[in-house]
Amino acid sequence: MKIQKLIYTAAAAALTVSSCSKDFLEEKMYSSYSVDVNDVPAKIIGLHRQFAALWGWSDSQGFVGCFQDGTDVGAPGDVQGVEIPFYQYATLTSENPGINHLWSSLYSIINNANIIISTEGVLPADKAEAEFFRAYSYNLLVTLWGKVPLVVENTSTPRTDYVREDIAKIDELITSDLTDAVANLPEVDKTATQNRINKDCARILAAEAFLRMGKNKEAEDIVSPVIDEGHYSLIQERYGKFLSDNGDYYSDMFRWGNQRRSQGNTEGVWIFQMEYNNTVPGGTINAPQQRRNWVAAFHKLSGMVNADSLGGRGNGRLRLSNYVKYGVYQEGDVRNSNYNIRRKLYYNKPGFQETIWIDADGFKVAEGTAGATQITVKTGDLVHWSVADTLAVMYPHCTKWGGYDVTDDFGWSLVKDWPLMRLADAYLLRAEARVMSGNAQGAADDINVLRDRAFKTFRAESGNAEAGKVSAADMSIDFILDERIRELVGEENRRYTLCRTGKLADRVEMMMTRFAEGVDEKKITGFDANVHTLLPIPLSEIQLNKDAVLEQNPGYK
């Protein structure tokens, strides 16, 4: 619908000069949205670029939090603002900038994909890549908004008569796009470059879409080859260029320089590549804010300086929920090691020494506080922070989005690859499909593959070979959702997953009653299951659509 706005802008320009003679306005169009087959390769790169511009958006820095806050995964830290209505639900309106951005970006991708798909003579693999992006966009739209307009043709003239289409119709398109994409996309290692969409990306997306549609058998069938064809393997050993740094085999996957298949990541299915803009023009698109959201602002503590090994400078906009921090991990899970969910810090400023007061729990308190102990800390010692610091400065945080750019110590853009799909997703989706179709044992088998990796070190060290093992009796959709947190926290769009599985209301209820934040302004409030399981349609879209009614979702004004 961006194109529509462009045309309107042009029309507005014409309007302002309408007092001139009429023939002045006769215009010959020298170009239009071209459908030349030779442009297709560039247009496909354009789709990737649009995808990056969607999720790397920096206009509203808290955008990342819109999909985590107000769920069972995220809790507000030092928020920017756009994400506030996603946990103070009563304040969510149809003018939220994050909602506008997501909606218009997805329809922009759809329109450009439509142009590629309808191009005469387009190669099947190129068409398949466009279909992947179109299906991705519609799947996200339908999951988050419900019925949405269905646009399958190149929009070359302004349209103001969109109506919402039944979900079943949109699902038909998603199904046919993904079926075609799976059939025609190249296998991994056969794509033009390793960042391009391969067959397995489409399989994973299709499994998500089929699960949402309730087609559990189809989901299992389409995702199984990702596991069975043997192109990927779970990372079980340390690898890559950071072997001399502290870390573990799981954290190695999330260091920039280690993330790509060519860099040793045998697990990555869709890794979105980023580069420094000064070495590759356009290498980083917009200014990705993931680190600034996910990483705590511990640079504010005295005795701490920004460091590559700590993932650079975070802003602490987004914290992990009490559920993630205290409710999901078992002892020995590598995914909860201090390299992956960082709970401890060590002073790293050279030559640092300070005398501080700490309480019985180890929190820093004011000098002379009753019952407090005075201690001297220095470089290399465990860091103590105050209770108030746990709201933004330092708290257990996910390290997957850590990244440090020596030329930007302040840490604006995150220059780092994005881990979008990996083999673990395929196991989780197949386990979910098996749970939903009553095959609990099959699901447990898949989960145990992930557990064998996650508890590998602990089993060896503790001698308990059964640590972390699950059985068929453990399996349920809730278990799968929890395992998704354990494996994919920080990577998955949690709001999307909860809406896809119909569990948002349940999980919000759980958070509000059993894992609520301690401070009022950080709590989830105002949630209405009849309203907030769908997002509002952007008001501007409704108002621009003057020749038909684009109905708003219930409860939004």
- Cβ at position 548, least distance to another protein in Å: 13
Contact 282, 51 (CB under 8 A): no
Say which residues have a Cβ less than 8 Å from residue 371's Cβ, sequence separation at least 6. Answer: 359, 360
Residue 519 structure tokens: 């401070």
123 binds another protein (CB under 8 A): no
97 binds another protein (CB under 8 A): yes
- Cβ at position 143, least distance to another protein in Å: 24
Strand ranges, E, within 289-440: 318-320, 341-342, 353-358, 364-365, 373-378, 397-398, 418-422
161 binds another protein (CB under 8 A): no
68 binds another protein (CB under 8 A): no
Which amino acid belongs to residue 234? Answer: L
228 binds another protein (CB under 8 A): no
Per DSSP, the three-state class of 195 is: coil
Q: Which of 6, 33, 34, 59 binds another protein (CB under 8 A)?
A: 59
- Cβ at position 448, least distance to another protein in Å: 44
Measured from the CB atom, is 60 or 336 closer to another protein? 60
Any idea which residue has 């573990």 for tokens? 248
543 binds another protein (CB under 8 A): yes
- Cβ at position 526, least distance to another protein in Å: 8
49 binds another protein (CB under 8 A): no
Number of residues in contact with another protein, rule: CB under 8 A? 40
Say which residues have a Cβ less than 8 Å from residue 425's Cβ, sequence separation at least 6. Answer: 204, 269, 488
Which amino acid belongs to residue 64? Answer: V
Any idea which residue has 């529509």 for tokens? 4
503-532 positions binding another protein, by CB under 8 A = 526
- Could you give the C-alpha distances from 14 to 10, 11, 17, 30, 33, in angstroms and in order? 6, 5, 6, 17, 20
> Taking the CA of residue 376 as centre, how many other CA atoms within 13 Å lie in the half-sphere pointing to its CB?
2
387 binds another protein (CB under 8 A): no
256-295 positions binding another protein, by CB under 8 A = 287
Which amino acid belongs to residue 553? Answer: N
- Cβ at position 21, least distance to another protein in Å: 13
Q: How many CB atoms lie within 10 A of CB 114?
A: 17
Measured from the CB atom, is 317 or 342 closer to another protein? 317
Measured from the CB atom, is 79 or 205 closer to another protein? 79
- Cβ at position 195, least distance to another protein in Å: 25
Measured from the CB atom, is 79 or 334 closer to another protein? 79
- Cβ at position 165, least distance to another protein in Å: 21
4-33 positions binding another protein, by CB under 8 A = 7-8, 10-12, 14-16, 18-19, 25, 27, 29
Distance of alpha carbon 55 from alpha carbon 420, whole angstroms: 11
Say which residues have a Cβ less than 8 Å from residue 235's Cβ, sequence separation at least 6. Answer: 249, 250, 252, 253, 265, 266, 267, 453
Interhelix angle for 477-488 vs 423-436, to 10°? 170
Find the part of the chain contacting another protein (CB under 8 A) among 86-94, 322-330, 492-500, 508-516: 86-94
Q: Which of 3, 50, 55, 61 binds another protein (CB under 8 A)?
A: 61
Measured from the CB atom, is 148 or 485 closer to another protein? 148
Q: How many CB atoms lie within 10 A of CB 509?
A: 13
Measured from the CB atom, is 96 or 139 closer to another protein? 96
Measured from the CB atom, is 2 or 260 closer to another protein? 2
108 binds another protein (CB under 8 A): no
Measured from the CB atom, is 85 or 268 closer to another protein? 85
54 binds another protein (CB under 8 A): no
DSSP 255: S
- Cβ at position 234, least distance to another protein in Å: 37
Distance of alpha carbon 465 from alpha carbon 132, whole angstroms: 41
Find the part of the chain contacting another protein (CB under 8 A) among 89-97, 230-238, 331-339, 511-519: 89-97
Contact 175, 145 (CB under 8 A): no
Measured from the CB atom, is 315 or 501 closer to another protein? 315
Measured from the CB atom, is 305 or 375 closer to another protein? 305
Residue 500 structure tokens: 């896809």
Distance of alpha carbon 465 from alpha carbon 125, whole angstroms: 46
Distance of alpha carbon 466 from alpha carbon 96, whole angstroms: 48
80 binds another protein (CB under 8 A): yes
- Cβ at position 281, least distance to another protein in Å: 15
Measured from the CB atom, is 243 or 388 closer to another protein? 388
- Cβ at position 90, least distance to another protein in Å: 6
- Cβ at position 492, least distance to another protein in Å: 24
Residue ranges in 185-301 assigned as alpha helix (H)? 199-213, 216-228, 249-252, 290-294
Strand ranges, E, within 285-436: 318-320, 341-342, 353-358, 364-365, 373-378, 397-398, 418-422
Measured from the CB atom, is 67 or 323 closer to another protein? 67
Residue 110 structure tokens: 């759809």
38 binds another protein (CB under 8 A): no
Q: List contacts with another protein (CB under 8 A).
A: 7-8, 10-12, 14-16, 18-19, 25, 27, 29, 57-61, 79-81, 84-85, 88, 90-91, 93-95, 97, 287, 526, 539-540, 542-546, 557
